[in-house]
Amino acid sequence: MKTPQLLLFFLLLNIVVVQAQSRKTTNPPAPGFDLAGSDAKAVQIADDVMAAMGGRKAWDETHLIAWNFFGFRKLVWDKWSGNVRVDNLRDDQTVLLNINNNQGRVFRNGQELTEPDSVAKYVRQGKNAWINDSYWLVMPFKLKDSGVTLKYLGEEATKDSRPADVLQLTFKNVGTTPDNKYKVWVDKQSHLVTQWAHYPKATDEQPRFTLPWADYQRHGQILLSGERGDRDLTDIMVFTGLPGEVFSSFTRTDLSRYPQAK
């Protein structure tokens, strides 16, 4: 092989290595992600989804997210500190908690609760609400989360006949429903999640539901989707900062008066 050809060969090889290393470092899996049990193609598609949603750096730099979960609850989540506010919209219950240390305060039936067992009960309820409600909003960012095993199931069109790659998510001893299974359709052109199906048990053959992920909008540096078929996630907002009383006062505040992230 002539010298110029050798130089070209090693240059191309270096590019391939750099690209492979870049993929490994730009979206590293969470500790406990089942990399050994996951399909390489499924992992690559998960990385493509992260990039299409704005990228791992943008996700990590996203600070505060607020949303309305189907008219049942309003939540505010500080991703950096773990502080969460959960306002029930059908009564006066508000839970202020930290999802990292499971400490919190509860307002219910016109007063703050002080009995430790009652506080612990409703703080746990608030955390479970956050686990569920946030997954409905930010699942595409969590494809390589702790305990997840990813499998590539092949190509399959969505209900609206768009070509997609289908991933399967199963879980190992994580979350409140570790027996769940999800199928996720990733659009072959946009690389965005456009549909999902939920199976209460990994052994179930038929899903409990199959719903779209649609109406992606940019919030700060990331894309978020609110349309889930008959019901939508609404009032989606991303902030770079909010007053401390959002996580310390039971008084409910209209967050739309604060400037949102750009």
Neighbours of 129 (CB within 10 A): 19
181-196: pLDDT as tens digits: 999 999 999 999 999 9
pTM: 0.88
Would you say residue 119 has pLDDT above 90?
yes
Provide the 3-class DSSP secondary structure of residue 37.
Answer: coil
Does domain 33-257 match CATH 3.40.50? no
CA distance 13 to 16: 5
CA distance 259 to 182: 35
CA distance 164 to 190: 10
CA distance 200 to 215: 26
Q: Which two tokens stand for residue 212?
A: 């779209």
Would you say residue 22 has pLDDT above 50?
no
Would you say residue 2 has pLDDT above 70?
no
Q: Which two tokens stand for residue 48?
A: 């493509």
CA distance 147 to 47: 17
51-96: pLDDT as tens digits: 999 999 999 999 999 999 999 999 999 999 999 999 999 999 999 9
